[in-house]
Amino acid sequence: MAQTLDIESRGGKAGTPLLEVQDLVMHYRTKEGDVSAVEDVTFTLHSGESIGLVGESGCGKTSVALTLLRLLPDNSLIKAGDVKLDGESLLELDEEQMRRRRWRDISMVFQGAMNSWNPVYRIGDQIREALRLHWPETLTYQEETDRIGALFELVGLNPVTMERYPHEFSGGMRQRAVIAMALSCNPKVIIADEPTTALDVIVQDQILRELKKIQQELGMSIIYISHDIAVIAEVTERMGVMYAGKLVELGSTVDVFHRPKHPYSYLLLKSTPSITGPRRKLAPLEGEPPNLLNPPSGCRFHPRCPFATDRCKVEEPNLVNVAEGHAVACWNWQEVPEIGGLQK
Partner 1 sequence: MLKYIAKRFGQIFILFYVFLALLFLLLDLQPGDISQQFVGNPNIPPEAKEIMVRQLGLDQPKIVQLGNHLWNYSFGMDMGVSWASYPREVSEILFTALPRTVFLFLTATILSFWLGFYTGKLVAWRRGTLIEKTTMITSIFFWTIFYPWFAILMLWFTSSVLGWFPVGKFISVETWIGAPYTAQSVFMLMLGSMALLSTLYGVARYAIDRSVDDAKTRRSYHRIALWSLVALVLVLWGINARRTYALDIIWHTIVPVLTLTLVNFAGTTLLTRSSMLETLREDYILTARAKGVPESTIRDRHAARNAMLPVTTSLVLQLAVVIAGGVITEQIFSWPGLGRALLGAITAEDIPVAMGALALIGILSLFAHLVADITYAFLDPRIRVQG
- In the region spanning residues 61 to 90, those forming contacts with partner 1, defined by CB under 8 A, are 69, 71
Minimum distance of partner 1 from residue 197's CB (angstroms): 13
- Distance of alpha carbon 188 from its chain centroid, rounded? 14
Bridge-based pairing of strands 189-193 and 33-46 is unpaired
Q: Which residues are bridge partners to 225 per DSSP?
A: 53, 193
How many chain residues are in contact with partner 1, going by CB under 8 A? 28
Q: State yes or no: residue 103 binds partner 1 (CB under 8 A).
A: yes
Q: Which of 87, 137, 141, 284 binds partner 1 (CB under 8 A)?
A: 141
Q: Which of 12, 17, 58, 112 binds partner 1 (CB under 8 A)?
A: 112
Q: Which residues are bridge partners to 77 per DSSP?
A: 27
Q: State yes or no: residue 110 binds partner 1 (CB under 8 A).
A: yes
Question: Of the two residues 130 and 247, which places its CB atom closer to partner 1 in the complex?
Answer: 130
Site stretch for partner 1 (CB under 8 A), options 12-20, 22-30, 38-46, 102-110: 102-110
Site stretch for partner 1 (CB under 8 A), options 113-121, 222-230, 243-251, 285-293: 113-121
Q: State yes or no: residue 107 binds partner 1 (CB under 8 A).
A: yes
Q: State yes or no: residue 101 binds partner 1 (CB under 8 A).
A: yes
Minimum distance of partner 1 from residue 185's CB (angstroms): 9
Question: Of the two residues 142 and 276, which places its CB atom closer to partner 1 in the complex?
Answer: 142
Q: State yes or no: residue 120 binds partner 1 (CB under 8 A).
A: yes
Residue pair 341/277 in contact (Cβ under 8 Å)? The answer is yes
Residue pair 185/134 in contact (Cβ under 8 Å)? The answer is yes
Residue pair 195/183 in contact (Cβ under 8 Å)? The answer is no
Using CB under 8 A, list all residues that contact partner 1: 69, 71, 99-104, 107-108, 110, 112, 115-121, 129-130, 133-134, 141, 165, 167-168, 181
